[in-house]
Structures are given as C-alpha cells and as structure tokens.
Structure 1
Amino acid sequence: MSGSYGLLVLLEFGLAIATAVGLIFITAPYGRHGRAGWGPTVPARVAWIVMESPAPLLFLGVFLAGEHRADVVPLVLLGLWQLHYVQRTFVYPFLLRGGARMPVSIMAMAIAFNTLNAYINARWVSSVGTYPTDWLTDPRFVLGVLVFLTGYSVNLWADRVLRGLRTAGNGYQIPRGGLYRWVSCPNYLGEIVEWFGWALTTWSPAGLAFAVYTAANLAPRAVSNHRWYRERFPDYPPQRRALIPFLA
C-alpha cells in the first residue's frame, strides 16, 4: 500500500485520533445533546439520509470500477457493507421519532468522512486487495463475518429498544433489558464490534482504519450519553457502565 491511496488510509487513522481527542472536550450537538450555537440546522431525518448516502452509493460506484468487481469474495464483502448502510441510510432515518434537528456543520463533517471511508474501503475490496475464493473458508473471514453480524444485530436491537421508549410518548426514559442491563449504549457497542468484524473479514488497513475511527467516534459519545442519563435520572442503575460491561 503506497502512494495517494496509502496517504488516504493514514489520513483516516489521523482523523480517528483527532476525533477522539476533540470529543473528550466537546459533545457533538445532535440528538439528546442538541443545542444552539452551531449554525443553521436541518431536520435530523434529512441530515441522516444526506450524510450517510456516500457510504452505500460511492462505495458501490468505486466497487463497480474495480478490477475484482465480479469476483466472489469481493461481492460477498459488498453485500456485508450494503447490509449495514442501506439500512442506516434509507431505513433508519424514517424510523426516527420526534422533530429533532441537526447542525449543517455536523452533517458536512459526516459527509466528508463517509466519502473518504467509502472510497478507501471500496477501493481495497475491489482493486487493491486480493481475495481468492478460498478466503471464504479462512478463519479470519469466517470469524470476521460472525463478529460483523453479531455487532449488526446488537446495533439494530438496541436502536429498536430506544425507539420503543420514544413511541410511548413520554420523552427520554431509562432503557432496560438485554445488554441495557450492563451498558448505557449497546447500540454503539454493537456498531464498534461490527466494524472490527469488518476489519477482520477484509484483513485490510482500510477496514482497520474504519474500525478504529468508529471506536474513536462512538466511545466518547457513549461516555457523554452515560453521564447524561446519570444526571437526568436519579434512579439510574448504578452498576451500568457506559460502553463495556463491568469495565467502562
């Protein structure tokens, strides 16, 4: 891995470090942490669709331009990627409750990241990386797919629990049951696990960069959410951790 492509992968690792440091001091102003002072806003549903669109669409375009686009393993990897991002881009926004809004500045930063991330991962899967058919039986691929699907399932389940609470019409409430017994943000835990599964399945620096960035972005968010719950609800379960059961 060299040249401009290698620099783009290194850029994503650098963004992960910068993001983690920044989010320690500043909580991104959307969702429950929404607040004034971040410029013009758009409806959250619109923001999610627009900012996530590069992930499935650009990925597909770059993939189809790659020399390995018709190979079996890259097609399976394409399916895994789209499994997540078609849901996140074209289904999840329409499941959102309430009239939340998102700053255009946050949306723009997400567009930039998703453009970079989709490009480096699609380029690796369809051009830079080499995946013979027997990669399908490699332990790294098999374990990676299992980890990916486990994280994906946890993420969907946890989001569904949160939507169910909002549907009750009582605003934010304490989520309970399942992984919510141990952590405040199993949705973030699931997504982090999912993309480390992707990194293992693809066995690629691009996949690892994405997994590291996901953790750098969502771990501080989980800590902020955990603190928000504890401040808002005096009866919040004291044994619950922010992201990792029994640890943190």
Structure 2
Amino acid sequence: MNNLYQILLPAEFGFAILVFGLLFFIKAPYGRFLRSGWGPSLPAKWAWFLQEFPAFGTILVLFLYFEAWSSPTAWVFLIIWQVHYFHRTFFYPFQFGSGQKPYPVLLVIFAVFFNLMNGFINGYYLFGKVNYSTDWLLDPRFIVGVAIFLGGYLLNKASDKRLAALKKEGNGDYIIPYGHVFKYVSCPHYLGEILEWTGWAILTWSMPGLAFAVFTFANLAPRAVAHHRWYRQKFENYPANRKALIPFIW
C-alpha cells in the first residue's frame, strides 16, 4: 500500500500542473459550457453523485481498515473531510433545478479516478502512515487550518445557495448575482472550495493535503476565469470592478 502511495502522491501534483494548463484552453463541458462532442452523458444530478461518492467512501474505508477509531484526532480528520463530502455527495447534486441537464460520462470517469486517488493518499497518510497525537488538536497549525476550512465551507455553501436561488428566479436562465461576496468576485463558490482545502492542507500539515489544495486551485481557477469572461460577454452591465476569483486582485 505504501508503494501505491509513493506513486500516487507525486502523480497528483503532476495532474494539477496538467489540468491547470489544459483548462485555460479547453473549458470543461458541463454547466454553462456544455457542448456536444464529448460522448454519452448522464443527468447532472446522478453524474455528480457518482463522481463524488468515491471521495466520501474511500477515506471512510481506510479509516475502518486501519482501525483508526481509537484516535480522537483521526475522528476529527474524518469528520472534517466528511462535512464537505457528505453534503457534496448526497445534497449538492439535488440542490439545483437543472439536475436533468446532460453531463458527460467521460468527466465522471475522470472525477471518479481523481477522487479515488485523492481519497487514498489522504486517508492512507492520516490513518495508516502517521499517528497524530491528541496534542495536535491544540497545535496553532490545526486551529488556523480549521478556521480557514470552516470559512471556506461557509462561503462555498452560501454562494451555492445564492446561485440555486437565482436559477429558480430566472426560470433556469442565468442572472447576474449580486450581494454577499459576489460583490467582489464572480465565483465565490470556487474561492470557498479553494479555501477549504487550503485549510485542510494546513490543519493536517501533510503533503497529501497540499496536493489536494494545489489540485483544487489548478482545477477551479481556470474555470473561474472562464465564468468571469462569460459573464462579461453575456451581460453588458456586468460590474466592471468585479474580479474572477480573488477580491481586488484577480
């Protein structure tokens, strides 16, 4: 199992570099960028469920496999991870009214592979490779990381809720979002998720955590830029001072 870990950990950093480069030239074909030519598809809600479930399940299996339930710190890590992925697997796919919209099976396959890989390297490291003492829960890195994770989580969920409400308000059409952090950036939901896994990297102080944070940024930053450009092209009155992802900067 350690040999597999040694292969997959650097592979995730490599995938992050590859994805970051590709997504500036090829927009992932789902949501507003859905287009033909990507093979068979599934209804979006079931596609999201299928691709997110491995992240929820893999780390739970590893927690049980390594009998990590005797460690309070391991329980905290598991709960923090599952706070995100329980919602992302069982609630998020059914939150939007466009759940029947097509979603390419090819993207589901890619996401399943990534979530299995990412869940494995994080779960193996946290529950099988390293033994965190209970004192870690009082370490400043853990406390700061948890604060960043929770801030990102709340930003992500509040932004998703606002976007879902706009979908209903526009009868499925897109509307310019206002208020909240949308005042400053076009994609606060992506910023929130990047903050979540940056916090995770800090609170675990681990290379797998860092790999996940780097990949999250590499995956979402180009899409945030694409969304921002799309808003500007579609709406002539789109706020000129609004940035794509990072308030006042980018």
TM-score higher than 0.5: yes
Q: 3-state DSSP class of the match of 1:42?
A: strand
Give the conservation status (yes or no) of the 8 Å contact 2:149–2:195: yes
1:187-207 CA-partner distances (Å, limit 9, x unpaired): 000000000000001111000
What is aligned with 1:152?
Answer: 153
What is aligned with 1:205?
Answer: 207
Alignment of 1:85-124 (within 5 A): 85-98=85-98, 99-124=100-125
1:58-111 CA-partner distances (Å, limit 9, x unpaired): 110011112534201010000000000000000111112123110000111000
| TM-score of the aligned structures, taking structure 1 as reference length | 0.97
Give the conservation status (yes or no) of the 8 Å contact 2:52–2:112: yes
Give the partner amino acid of 2:80.
L
Percent identity reads 49
Indicate whether 1:18 and 2:18 are aligned.
yes
Pick from 234, 242, 245 the counterpart of residue 244 of structure 2: 242
Give the conservation status (yes or no) of the 8 Å contact 2:40–2:104: yes
Give the partner amino acid of 2:186.
S
- Structure 2: gaps of 5 or more residues: none
Show structure 1 runs of 4+ deviating over 4 A.
none
Give the conservation status (yes or no) of the 8 Å contact 2:225–2:244: yes
Pick from 182, 185, 201 the counterpart of residue 183 of structure 1: 185
What is aligned with 2:167?
Answer: 166
What is aligned with 1:129?
Answer: 130
Between the aligned partners of 2:202 and 2:104, the Cα distance in structure 1 is 34
Alignment of 1:43-58 (within 5 A): 43-58=43-58
Indicate whether 1:4 and 2:18 are aligned.
no
Q: 3-state DSSP class of the match of 1:25?
A: coil
Between the aligned partners of 1:139 and 1:130, the Cα distance in structure 2 is 18
Give the conservation status (yes or no) of the 8 Å contact 1:69–1:75: yes
Query: Shift of the alpha carbon at 1:5?
Result: 1.3
Give the partner amino acid of 2:182.
Y
Query: Shift of the alpha carbon at 1:247?
Result: 0.7
Between the aligned partners of 1:68 and 1:164, the Cα distance in structure 2 is 40
Pick from 202, 216, 219 the counterpart of residue 221 of structure 2: 219
Between the aligned partners of 1:22 and 1:70, the Cα distance in structure 2 is 43
Give the conservation status (yes or no) of the 8 Å contact 2:96–2:167: no
| TM-score of the aligned structures, taking structure 2 as reference length | 0.97
Give the partner amino acid of 1:181.
K
1:177-234 CA-partner distances (Å, limit 9, x unpaired): 0110010000000000000000001111000000000000000000000011001000
What is aligned with 2:41?
Answer: 41
Between the aligned partners of 1:137 and 1:231, the Cα distance in structure 2 is 48
Give the conservation status (yes or no) of the 8 Å contact 1:19–1:217: yes
CA RMSD of aligned residues (A): 1.0
Give the partner amino acid of 2:86.
V
- Structure 1: gaps of 5 or more residues: none
Aligned positions, number:
247
